[in-house]
Chains A and B, each alone.
Chain A
Amino acid sequence: MTRIYVPRDSAAVSVGADDVARALESALAARGIAAEIVRNGSRGMLWLEPFVEVQTPAGRIGYGPVTVEDVEPLLDAGLLEGGAYALSHGPVDQIWWLASQQRISFARVGIHDPLDLDEYRRLGGLVGLERALAMPPEEVAADVLASGLRGRGGAGFPAGIKWRTVLEAESDVKYVCCNADEGDSGTYADRMLMEGDPFTLLEGMAIAGTTVGSTRGLIYVRSEYPDAIRTLRTAIDIARVDGWLGDDVMGSGRAFDVRVVEGAGSYVCGEETAMLESLEGKRGMVRPKPPIPALQGLFGNPTLVHNVLTLSAVPSILADGAAAYQALGIDRSRGTQVFQLAGNIARGGIVELAFGVTLRELVEDYGGGTFTGAPVRAVQVGGPLGAYLPGDALDVSMDYEALAAAGGLLGHGGIVVFDDSVDMAAQARFALEFCAVESCGKCTPCRIGSTRGIEVIDRITAGIDRDRNLVLLDELCETMTDGSLCAMGGLTPLPVRSALMYFPEDFHRSPEAMER
């Protein structure tokens, strides 16, 4: 039976994928055509969603963006044979945008029904876990270290060192906590992976748990991701029935199980110690470090905390070898990064490539410039705590160290593009507003500094004592950078200062001009 693919990813659904799937189903029934509609994950070419694919002898042929109105004419044009239609993009595996990527963590996303375990196996799933269970834990941790994998949440700490620390910690109870509190604007890769290939994350967690000697895994998912939560919970049930989560992982005699914990709306809970507090049922207040979570984490026990993308890279490292992963990338940034193109961009979506690609290649070659067609004026890399870079300075290499040297940060790999209508004084003010709303309140520079910062920016843009207030803002930023307990207060000055440095003209307009 012919297979037709219509994504179930919530981004695709947000622009009508469910409606298209329903229309397709009834149109097929009306025509008496027997075809199977598979709800796959998204390929990540979000500007083409809903992206409909059909399996043909010549491979999968893609169409998009498909609307309900396209369904009948698309069937008339011979959809089932991959017929020509205005929205056709030809064989999907020959689309440059996809074919030129180096997909490892996202290798399966968009290809299959995310909850079809047979398909997961057929596409190479569970090989990594099987290999890991046959190796001494010390060797698994050594492999993760040798792969060069670093924390993809943004901090970039070598994963293998964390694994070794938790493995060597003496405790009857240890935890593996997956941080899926993906709150950075411009990032959505965790969500797409959890919705589009949840087994990869669970396999990565099972490898981590059985390696470091933990039996309990938790995934802290933000409440804004209801589809991801549902998909993960179903996937966990399936994995338990199949015997690779639970009391006896794949007959190894080792136990490891996973539970999903839903967040309750708090950006700072994406900071690892605040997340641990929240997992303990408390306010998401940041803890001072040390002690580090690897030694004293959840309920005081050794805890391996990793972002979704870090854990999702692990199965392939074990399956294909640390050397293969380490061979990709540049300098101390090894492997691939899942970049997320967002904001005012013509071709937004997931671009997984080895570290070292330039920001310009991502924004111009993959992104195709702005959606509006106006010039790129600013690009914010690394979420709301990342720097704003000017549109003419995009030749920076995308890796941890090069971005830091350029005054920015990689963060979770989000890239938000703005055209020339952006008001950078408003963006700088927003960074402080966001900090004021989301600060946990534990430390003074973040709690008070954010509000004082808003007031100072308002005085600057209103032309009140401008020079003195610019100095004051700079001093305030310095206090927040040096005096905050975590990245929330510590990095909020980054977007503020970069906006001031690269776009000073926006801070020197009359109040009337601000009211555009």
Chain B
Amino acid sequence: MSAYAPGSVEAVRSTLAALPPDERLILPALQHLQEAFGYVPEGSVDAVADELNVAKAEVVGVLTYYHDLRETPPPAVVVQVCVAEACQAQGVRDLLRGIEGEYAVAVGKRTLVGDVEFDKVYCLGNCALGPAVMVNGHLVGRCDTRRLRTAIQAAR
């Protein structure tokens, strides 16, 4: 956690000051802010642009380019479902239908249900033990709705 208010110039300055000189770049700056706050708070963009002496557009460009970077605080549980080919071959479409049945929502881009966010991702590197799902950074192999329920419960 940062000692400074989210989005404050001080938070950005202290984040950049903690980085070695060759890492004082847009992406590492945003990644470290996200590490401190869980997201990239509003207001950080101007401060990062000022401190790194780059155009605001460049910072916004990076912020909106990478899937990992988020502009809103994450909920308690983040579920990333791999929907790439190897997991398709192992029945991820059934898992998605199962989630839809259980949570009454179709998994799209950062779909929020209560305190759980479902997101589609492409490959978690567990392609022989799919469907693969990551719950708050923990990999779940051979995932079905029962195993997913247990993992979500454990993550809360």
Contact = CB atoms under 8 A, between A and B. Distances in A.
Chains A and B come from one and the same complex: yes
Interface stretch (A31-39, A238-246, A335-343, A503-511): A335-343
B129 interface: yes
Size band of the interface chain A makes with B? 35 or more
A111 interface: no
B84 interface: yes
Most buried by A among B128, B132, B139: B128
Contacts, number: 139
Contacts of A191: 125
B102 to A, nearest CB: 21
A434 B120 CA distance: 11
Given A281-B28, A283-B62, A264 B126 contact: no
B133 to A, nearest CB: 9
A342 B139 contact: no
A384 B126 contact: no
B82 to A, nearest CB: 8
Contact of A14 (B27, B88, B132): B132
A70 B125 CA distance: 27
Contact of A10 (B25, B58, B126): B126
Contacts of A416: 85-86, 89, 127
A427 B65 CA distance: 26
A145 B134 CA distance: 41
Contacts of A282: 25-27, 58, 61-62
Interface residues of B, number: 39
Contacts of B141: 11, 14-15
A195 B62 CA distance: 29
B85 A345 contact: no
Contacts of A278: 27
A130 interface: no
B68 to A, nearest CB: 4
Contacts of B127: 185-188, 340, 342-343, 348, 414, 416
A419 B90 CA distance: 9
A223 B68 contact: yes
A225 B90 contact: no
A200 interface: no
Contacts of B61: 282-283
Interface in A258-277: 261-267
A281 B26 contact: yes
A13 B86 CA distance: 19
B31 interface: yes
Interface string B24-62: 011111010000000000000000000000000010011
B86 A224 contact: no
Interface in A351-390: 371, 380, 384
A17 to B, nearest CB: 10
B141 to A, nearest CB: 3
A49 B123 CA distance: 19
A438 B31 CA distance: 20
A121 B100 CA distance: 51
A267 B128 contact: no
A226 interface: yes
A224 B58 contact: no
A182 interface: yes
A13 B31 contact: no
A168 B63 CA distance: 38
B126 to A, nearest CB: 5
B91 to A, nearest CB: 8
A340 B134 CA distance: 21
Nearest to A266: B66
A344 interface: yes
Contact of A186 (B85, B121, B139): B85
Contacts of A262: 31
Contacts of B128: 11, 46-47, 188, 340-343, 345, 348-349
Nearest to B120: A437
A281 to B, nearest CB: 3
Interface string B128-145: 111010100101111000
A224 B132 CA distance: 12
Contacts of B140: 14
A422 interface: yes
A418 interface: yes
Contacts of B68: 223, 263-265
A381 to B, nearest CB: 11
21 contacts: A11-B128, A14-B140, A49-B129, A185-B84, A186-B127, A224-B124, A224-B134, A262-B31, A264-B31, A281-B25, A281-B26, A282-B27, A282-B61, A283-B61, A283-B62, A340-B128, A342-B128, A348-B128, A349-B128, A419-B89, A427-B88
**3 pairs of A and B residues whose beta carbons are closest in the complex:** A281-B25, A348-B128, A265-B67
Interface of B: 25-29, 31, 58, 61-62, 65-69, 82, 84-90, 121-130, 132, 134, 137, 139-142
